[in-house]
Amino acid sequence: MTSSAVSTKIDTLLRHAADGGRISPEEALLLYTDAPLHALGEAADAARKRRYAGDSVNIATYIIDRNINYTNVCLTACKFCAFYRAPGHSEGWTHTDDEILRRCGEALDLGATQIMLQGGHSPALGIEWYERTFAAIKQAYPELTLHSLGASEVVHIGKVSKLDHAEVITRLHAAGLDSFAGAGAEILVQRPRTAIAPLKESGETWLSVMELAHGMGVESTATFMMGTGETNAERIEHLRMIRDVQDRTGGFRSFIPWTYQPENNHLKGRTQATSLEYLRMVALARLFFDNINHLQGSWLTTGKDIGQLTLHFGADDLGSVMLEENVVSSAGARHRSNRTELIELIRSAGRVPAQRDTLYKHLSVHADPADDPVDARVHSHFSSTALKLLPTGVPAAAS
Ligand code: SF4
């Protein structure tokens, strides 16, 4: 094809996708690699606007939640992970029930609506530990939504407790789990997945567990960790694998891409997605996922400027204030923020900020700056242990 024919094809595809038409993986790859950045962003923003009616078109959301990383003991040893310690390691720890409950109570006091329990694959923690912990949280704090664990944990708990995946999901759900987080997806395509996480379940298994959970009424999000050495075609294939499952289940509420952080782990600085690649991926995801409602931009891994720019590239959500996070932060994500700043990032991007819940319901729309919530305690990494691991980490409240 001549360059002008390619350019015409790109224009046609962008219009088609912006109007809600489906694009193939091959077409997505062409747009990802060759579409002009601004045109890609404009088409993604148009696709975003098509999804939301009335005032919601102008709204961009955030959530207040806390990642409680309940153990760093893990036998899966992902090469990109700076958080885990192998079973038996002297630096391994697991929080007590009391400590987890204390952190939940503290989060609730700061306005959190959601808890993400995320941790290592400890051989010492079987289904009973999770059942007891979830039930205790729900009993003490029924207002908190448990958007926690993920397909990887289902596989791990199944092995430890000798249960099939459906039994694990049923028991977790009955104990209080509301929905699964999308972590553990990393990259689902097997070649790069094996290279970075050889002991983790396959991408197909991750998807099959999510499909099973969706069929059982437990919805989830889906994620993508970019920048560990995957090709552009493999990036698009990751999206295709998720879209195919979504066509059958409709259970992925949101797609959340972020970038690999290269410190304190075995992969180190081998590769990292650039900010432009990240923005292109956000826009492409909005155009490709005609069947996923929400798209989250990451400020934690790419910084607040890029996080804000994602709102012009198809994102409708900036994710969490993140009162606590230790896993990605251990690998070098140093960006810090707070509620006031997220509200201002959204507002100065020309959108109306709103706090949402796990189901993306707007809890509080901040239409008038004079009515903005003021609580200086609501900042990221309120008590993250990861701060101690960062040699040049900044104090939690700083930006
Ligand atoms: S990413 Fe999760 S599963 Fe992998 S080593 Fe770290 S804690 Fe374990």
Q: Is 323 in the pocket of ligand 1 (CB under 6 A)?
A: no
Asked if the structure places residue 36 within a domain, the reply is no
Report the CATH number at residue 179. 3.20.20.70
Q: Which of 229, 301, 234, 232 is nearest to 271 (CA)?
A: 229
Q: Is 206 in the pocket of ligand 1 (CB under 6 A)?
A: no
Counts of helices then strands in the chain (DSSP H, E): 14, 11
| Tokens representing residue 271 in the block | 């590769």
Q: Is 63 in the pocket of ligand 1 (CB under 6 A)?
A: no
Q: What is the pLDDT of residues 57-68, one digit of tens each?
A: 999 999 999 999
Q: Is 260 in the pocket of ligand 1 (CB under 6 A)?
A: no
Non-local (6+) Cβ contacts of 361 within 8 A are none
Asked if the structure places residue 351 within a domain, the reply is yes
Q: Report which ligand 1 atom has the smallest distance to the Cα of 81.
A: 6
Q: Starting from the edge strand earliest in sequence, which strands make up the sheet with 145-148, in order?
A: 65-68, 114-117, 145-148, 179-180, 220-226, 252-259, 294-295
User: What's the sign of the alpha-carbon dihedral 25, 27, 30, 35?
Assistant: negative
| Distance (Å, whole) CA 46 – CA 35 | 15
C-alpha 112 – ligand 1 centre gap (Å): 25
Q: What is the pLDDT of residues 134-163, one digit of tens each?
A: 999 999 999 999 999 999 999 999 999 999
| Tokens representing residue 127 in the block | 């289904």
C-alpha 168 – ligand 1 centre gap (Å): 19
Asked if the structure places residue 321 within a domain, the reply is yes
Asked if the structure places residue 42 within a domain, the reply is no
Q: What is the pLDDT of residues 89-106, one digit of tens each?
A: 999 999 999 999 999 999
Q: Is 70 in the pocket of ligand 1 (CB under 6 A)?
A: no
Asked if the structure places residue 151 within a domain, the reply is yes
| Distance (Å, whole) CA 83 – CA 91 | 11
| Distance (Å, whole) CA 200 – CA 77 | 8
Asked if the structure places residue 35 within a domain, the reply is no
Amino acid at 80: F
Per-residue pLDDT tens listing for the chain (399 residues):
788 899 999 999 999 999 999 999 999 999 999 999 999 999 999 999 999 988 889 999 999 999 999 999 999 999 999 899 999 999 999 999 999 999 999 999 989 999 999 999 999 999 999 999 999 999 999 999 999 999 999 999 999 999 999 999 999 999 999 999 999 999 999 999 999 999 999 999 999 999 999 999 999 999 999 999 999 999 999 999 999 999 999 999 999 999 988 877 888 766 679 999 999 999 999 999 999 999 999 888 888 899 999 999 999 999 988 787 776 666 666 677 788 889 999 999 999 999 999 999 999 999 999 988 887 777 776 665 554 444 433 333 322
Asked if the structure places residue 322 within a domain, the reply is yes
The protein residue whose alpha carbon is closest to atom 1 in ligand 1 is: 81
Kind of pairing, strands 352-356 and 362-365? antiparallel
Q: What is the pLDDT of residues 373-390, one digit of tens each?
A: 887 777 776 665 554 444
Non-local (6+) Cβ contacts of 158 within 8 A are 164, 165, 167, 168
Q: Are 192 and 229 in contact (CB under 8 A)?
A: yes
C-alpha 377 – ligand 1 centre gap (Å): 29
With the most atoms of ligand 1 within 8 angstroms of its CB, the residue from 122, 148, 155, 200 to mutate is 200
Q: Is 196 in the pocket of ligand 1 (CB under 6 A)?
A: no
| Tokens representing residue 20 in the block | 């809600």
Helix residue ranges per DSSP H, the chain = 3-18, 25-34, 37-51, 97-109, 127-140, 151-161, 165-175, 190-196, 203-215, 232-249, 275-288, 304-310, 327-330, 339-348
Number of structural domains found in the chain: 1
104 marked among binding-site residues: no
pLDDT of residue 112: 95
What is the per-residue DSSP string for 229-280?
S--HHHHHHHHHHHHHHHHHH--EEEEEEEE---SSSSSTTS----HHHHHH
Asked if the structure places residue 399 within a domain, the reply is no
pLDDT of residue 53: 81
Residues spanned by the domain of 362: 54-389
Q: Is 330 in the pocket of ligand 1 (CB under 6 A)?
A: no
Q: Is 121 in the pocket of ligand 1 (CB under 6 A)?
A: yes
